[in-house]
Amino acid sequence: MAVYTEVTEEDLDAFLAAYDLGAVLSLKGIAEGVENSNYLLRTEKGTFILTLYEKRVNEADLPFFLNLMDHLAARGLTCPQPIRAKNGEALGRMAGRPAAMVSFLEGMSVRRPSVQHCGEVGAGLARLHLAGADFPMRRANSLSLSGWAPLFDGAKARADEITPGLAAFITDELAALAKVWPQSLPQGVIHADLFPDNVFFLDKHLSGLIDFYFACTDALAYDAAICLNAWCFEPDASFNVTKGQAFLAGYQSVRALDAQEIAALPVLARGAALRFLLTRLVDWLNVPVGALVRPKDPMEYVKKLRFHQHVKSAADYGLLA
Amino acid sequence: MAVYTEVTEEDLDAFLAAYDLGAVLSLKGIAEGVENSNYLLRTEKGTFILTLYEKRVNEADLPFFLNLMDHLAARGLTCPQPIRAKNGEALGRMAGRPAAMVSFLEGMSVRRPSVQHCGEVGAGLARLHLAGADFPMRRANSLSLSGWAPLFDGAKARADEITPGLAAFITDELAALAKVWPQSLPQGVIHADLFPDNVFFLDKHLSGLIDFYFACTDALAYDAAICLNAWCFEPDASFNVTKGQAFLAGYQSVRALDAQEIAALPVLARGAALRFLLTRLVDWLNVPVGALVRPKDPMEYVKKLRFHQHVKSAADYGLLA
């Protein structure tokens, strides 16, 4: 939740002069999105989300994200659609920052996903993978295997402040994953951050996917492994195999996982847990003075990672043979 | 800006079952209101602001605030209008807190008020005073003269951390105001917090007043003195007499200040500056761990108070004879 950059009426008027959206009716900073400043904008032409991209987003990546949303929306996926200025550009600048507007999506994220929600998100993720299959741009996943060690280097010395032995635990896991990380799985556009915050539902059915600012090109099954972590554990960090089964069945109702992907699922799930453990660890150790966001607890992902380390096969996640 | 209480879909469904607003379409936490948690709620029947009242609001005061908004709206003032449940109640409970919904107002607050904005807000404040004249409920102003000394007691020992000599400066000002504070000015409902955040404009014209959670019964001219502090100083804390003139002329175009009120204006403006100095001082010295809101600088109001101490008469604020 965040509004890092305050927008003045002069900023907004100057920005909107390039668009054809009529007069402004209201602008509300919204508590959505951890990385950027987000506003709900109402004009005579409709309701939009206005995003100011803060420094953690690499400006060179923005065309990938905006074009991807256009591409997915054109293929029928319900996701925010970039609003283009009169000159055709989707990306502008406001208050010294890159800025863009996207269409507003109805729907509510769920805080406590049910089995049915997990099934819906499985199918939604697979639809995203199919819709992205012919997207021509590529973006490397900076938060995959090769990115984890440098990320950990900055936090290693203080990791044991979180729990004794954490530095050694992560060091061992990094070494183990480096040996077994799969390199030849089917690749494509992945969302890479499809947590419950980023999925909207209306009347228990999935109504839209948002926040494509971690999207990249990587193994499709890794995206599924991220969702197993994000959707199928209970608040006490126990894995709910009924939710895992619903998620995987939902996914496979749209796109079948191949034998290689199924075999890789436990390793991918370990990697996904480690990825969120590492970013949470870094955030936890680096809360800026005056921070507006409470960091999330890294220990949640230590527990999830320990679970995945003991998984024998995808059947333990509820995959039906 | 704040969302202190997270609302689950179960919380919302349970709360809305008492209303006749149709299905929920979206819910966004918004960065508006420092004291409470505010959400923008869209349902099949429209757009609403949902407020969960946090602990700094006294629950016993809520009927005053909600009835006041109803009263003012019924008299044509554009302000949020409480939405009543099927049983007629405007106040409910959600997530263990008192909660209410009000109508959504179009409009944008301004961060850098112009002379024209100051004139509009003057007239708007006077309309509020007239519309509130026959409001039957009363609420004492807990942040007037008798409340300042106890507030200061909790901060006095550490006040000099802000600037050396601040404790003595405030002690002297409290003593001076106690001797001259006017007791027999025309009273009525005052907003008591009509800062630029709480006034909406559309196309440079005032379109609505919000946030009535400091409203109380007090001297009407004190409300004008608060606005002189909140609207008519520049960012460098210099008083802009053109803005003061526009504000006072706007006010008097709707309701004339009497001779007693005009004579009291410099003392009231000192009191208003001291009131915001004191609450900012307390907030500054008591930032809770994990706070989501940056406290505002108390020094801004030290500078404003020093200005008012040297004002000779209301003419110095731009009041035309």
Say whether pLDDT at B168 is over 80.
Answer: yes
Taking CA atoms, B44 is separated from A209, B14, B26, B295, in Å, by 21, 17, 10, 38
Q: Which ipTM score applies to this complex?
A: 0.81
Q: Is B6–A106 a contact, with Cβ atoms under 8 angstroms apart?
A: no
Instruction: Dig out the tokens for A34 from the structure.
Output: 């951890």
Confidence of residue A289 (pLDDT cuts 50, 70, 90): low
At residue A118, what is the residue type?
Answer: C
Best of A9, A78, A207, A294 to disrupt the B interface by mutation (most B CBs within 10 Å)?
A9
Q: Do domains B9-103 and B115-317 have the same CATH topology?
A: no
> Any CB–CB contact under 8 A between B1 and chain A?
yes
> Which chain B residues are closer than 8 Å to A8 by Cβ?
111-112
Which DSSP letter does residue A286 get?
T
Q: Are B231 and B247 in contact (CB under 8 A)?
A: yes
Give the lowest-confidence range in A177-186, B23-32, B138-147. Answer: B23-32
Show which of residues 100-139 on chain B sit within 8 Å of chain A, judged by CB atoms: 104-108, 110-112
Shortest Cα distance from B213 to chain A (angstroms)?
Answer: 19
Q: Where are the domains of chain A?
A: 9-103, 115-317
Q: What pLDDT does A1 receive?
A: 38
Task: Scan for tokens 């001297």, then name that residue.
Answer: B219
Task: Scan for tokens 């008798």, then name that residue.
Answer: B146
Q: How far apart are CA B29 and CA A293, in angstroms?
A: 14
Confidence of residue B5 (pLDDT cuts 50, 70, 90): confident
pTM over 0.90: no
Q: What pLDDT does A55 receive?
A: 80
Topology, domain A115-317 = Aminoglycoside 3'-phosphotransferase; Chain: A, domain 2 (3.90.1200)
Say whether pLDDT at B32 is over 90.
Answer: no
Q: What pLDDT does A45 receive?
A: 95
Instruction: Dig out the tokens for A103 from the structure.
Output: 């269409």
**Residue A306: CB partners within 8 Å, gap ≥ 6?**
none
Confidence of residue A296 (pLDDT cuts 50, 70, 90): confident
Confidence of residue B1 (pLDDT cuts 50, 70, 90): very low
Say whether pLDDT at B114 is over 80.
Answer: yes
> Any CB–CB contact under 8 A between B95 and chain A?
no
Taking CA atoms, B292 is separated from A23, A34, A38, in Å, by 32, 13, 16
Say whether pLDDT at A33 is over 80.
Answer: no
Task: Scan for tokens 């099949």, then name that residue.
Answer: B44
Say whether pLDDT at B34 is over 80.
Answer: no
Which DSSP letter does residue A108 get?
B
Say whether pLDDT at A173 is over 90.
Answer: yes
Q: What pLDDT does B27 receive?
A: 93
**Residue B200: CB partners within 8 Å, gap ≥ 6?**
A26, B105, B106, B107, B108, B109, B206, B207, B208, B209, B210
The mean pLDDT of B38-47, rounded to a whole number, is 95
The mean pLDDT of A268-295, rounded to a whole number, is 84
- The domain A9-103 having CATH identifier 3.30.200.20: the answer here is yes
Confidence of residue B288 (pLDDT cuts 50, 70, 90): low
Q: What pLDDT does A54 receive?
A: 86
Say whether pLDDT at B289 is over 60.
Answer: no
Show which of residues 47-76 on chain A sit within 8 Å of chain B, judged by CB atoms: none
Q: Are B188 and B222 in contact (CB under 8 A)?
A: no
Instruction: Dig out the tokens for A72 from the structure.
Output: 């997915």
Three-state DSSP class for A29?
strand
pLDDT digits (tens, 9 = 90+) for A198-241: 999 998 899 999 999 999 999 999 999 999 999 999 999 999 99
Q: Which of A3, A112, A203 is nearest residue B8 as measured by Cβ atoms?
A: A112
